[in-house]
């Protein structure tokens, strides 16, 4: 989505923008829940993309449960949620089709002159190359080869369940609430998000859950080896967990989680897993190329800021280009501000995960 945030912001400002997307498939059904931070909602409304209330759900209470499912604490807290696919659909519809090219895998970026080379041998040159290619960024590996993800010794098990597949007990327990359970070196949370078709009406939503859990080195290799035998570094997609791994985690849910959370995990058809890691680039620009969003910084998901940061990176890049007469001046100003922000966000994520949640090293 970082590419679409940037493409829309710069395109609306009159720049000639082309997006090269390496995927050849439809991305509209991917991803889980996200916190709809103010920067995301403002982007959607200020660019006349969609009324944010149409694709968001709300909670008015933050609740922590005990192991047996009783309410340990309950506080008033307004939170707004959405889903990756709901936001993506709106962004994609807002960007011109003739400027969006799929199946375009970038193999090389020459930052000195903005040349981009593709896997099919084609190449193009731009005044500015924006690499928004995620935490495993090809561009970052070229520009900053010594910058690598640092694994935090715990993972996030995740899943989304259609509301219609849940019992009334589970729906009632989570409806209108942001609900948590803190166990020994684990934390699970859940909240409602729009349905697969974007519905936010009761009955048509999905319940999104995230379960942070520690593990050992041997477990990590086993967990991140998918059904094809591929050893993944950072994630295993929905439906690709090996059967023994998935079965064991469902058993752990029954053994360790409050009943409503255990029921939620049991009702999940295709859970998936993501490694929790920190990533911090020394800077975000090199000559005529820049990194944006997770390509430059990955903060732990406790900050609920990944998508929001990508939106803010894009907005601030457009603003810097407006303020400065030269590309170099704009990039230098943007780089300093956004690199400082990214570093602070990564540090905040470490504190939240390692100290407040008693997870990781």
- Does one domain contain both 262 and 336? no
225: CATH: 3.30.9.60
- Does one domain contain both 319 and 210? no
- Does one domain contain both 167 and 73? yes
- Does one domain contain both 209 and 318? no
At 159, list the tokens: 């899943």
What domain range is 312 assigned to? 2-22+103-147+281-356
Residue 3: closest CA among 282, 286, 294: 294
At 212, list the tokens: 């942070």
> Is the residue at 159 inside a domain?
yes
> Is the residue at 87 inside a domain?
no
- Does one domain contain both 136 and 196? no
Span 310-355, pLDDT tens digits: 999 999 999 999 999 999 999 999 999 999 999 999 999 999 998 7
Whether the pLDDT of residue 212 is over 70: the answer is: yes
> Is the residue at 329 inside a domain?
yes
269 CB-contact burial (10 Å; exposed 0-12 / middle 13-18 / buried 19+): exposed
* Cα distance between residue 65 and residue 354, in whole Å: 21
Extract the runs of DSSP E, i.e. beta strands, from 84-222.
100-102, 106-110, 115-118, 123-125, 129-131, 150-162, 177-183, 186-193, 206-214
- Does one domain contain both 320 and 229? no
Terminal CA-to-CA distance of the chain, rounded, Å?
Answer: 31
* Cα distance between residue 341 and residue 339, in whole Å: 5
Q: Which residues have C-beta within 8 Å of that of residue 302, sequence separation ≥ 6?
A: 349, 352, 353, 356, 357
Q: Cα angle at 20 between 19 and 25, to 5 degrees?
A: 110
- Sign of torsion over alpha carbons 135, 141, 144, 149: positive
Total domains present in the chain: 2
Span 138-186, pLDDT tens digits: 999 999 999 999 999 899 999 999 999 999 999 999 999 999 999 988 9
119: CATH: 3.50.50.60
Span 86-137, pLDDT tens digits: 999 999 999 999 999 999 999 999 999 999 999 999 999 999 999 999 999 9
């Amino acid at each position: 989505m970082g590419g679409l945030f940037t493409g829309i912001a710069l395109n609306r400002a009159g720049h000639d923008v082309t997006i090269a997307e390496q995927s050849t498939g439809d991305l509209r059904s991917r991803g889980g829940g996200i916190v709809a931070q103010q920067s995301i909602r403002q982007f959607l409304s200020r660019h006349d993309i969609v009324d944010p209330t149409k694709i968001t759900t709300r909670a008015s209470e933050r609740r922590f449960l005990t192991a047996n499912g009783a309410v340990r604490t309950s506080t008033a807290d307004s939170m707004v949620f959405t889903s990756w696919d709901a936001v993506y659909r709106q962004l994609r519809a807002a960007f011109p089709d003739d400027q969006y090219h799929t199946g375009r895998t970038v193999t090389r970026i020459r930052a000195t002159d903005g040349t981009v080379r593709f896997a099919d041998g084609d190449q193009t040159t731009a005044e500015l190359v924006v690499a928004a290619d995620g935490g495993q960024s090809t561009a970052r590996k070229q520009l900053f080869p010594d910058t690598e993800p640092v694994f935090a010794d715990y993972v996030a098990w995740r899943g989304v369940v259609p509301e219609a597949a849940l019992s009334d007990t589970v729906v009632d327990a989570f409806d209108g609430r942001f609900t948590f359970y803190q166990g020994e070196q684990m934390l699970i949370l859940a909240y409602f998000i729009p349905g697969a078709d974007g519905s936010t009406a009761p009955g048509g939503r999905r319940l999104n859950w995230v379960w942070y859990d520690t593990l050992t080195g041997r477990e990590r290799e086993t967990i991140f080896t998918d059904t094809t035998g591929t050893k993944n570094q950072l994630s295993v997609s929905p439906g690709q967990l090996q059967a023994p791994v998935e079965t064991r985690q469902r058993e752990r849910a029954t053994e360790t989680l409050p009943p409503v959370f255990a029921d939620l995990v049991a009702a999940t058809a295709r859970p998936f897993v993501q490694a929790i890691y920190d990533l911090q680039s020394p800077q975000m620009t090199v000559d005529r190329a820049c990194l944006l969003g997770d390509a430059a910084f990955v903060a732990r998901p406790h900050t609920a800021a990944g998508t929001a940061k990508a939106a803010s990176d894009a907005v601030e890049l457009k603003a810097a280009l407006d303020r400065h007469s030269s590309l170099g001046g704009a990039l230098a100003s943007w780089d300093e501000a956004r690199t400082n922000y990214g570093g602070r966000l990564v540090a905040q994520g470490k504190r939240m995960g390692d100290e407040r949640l008693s997870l990781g090293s």
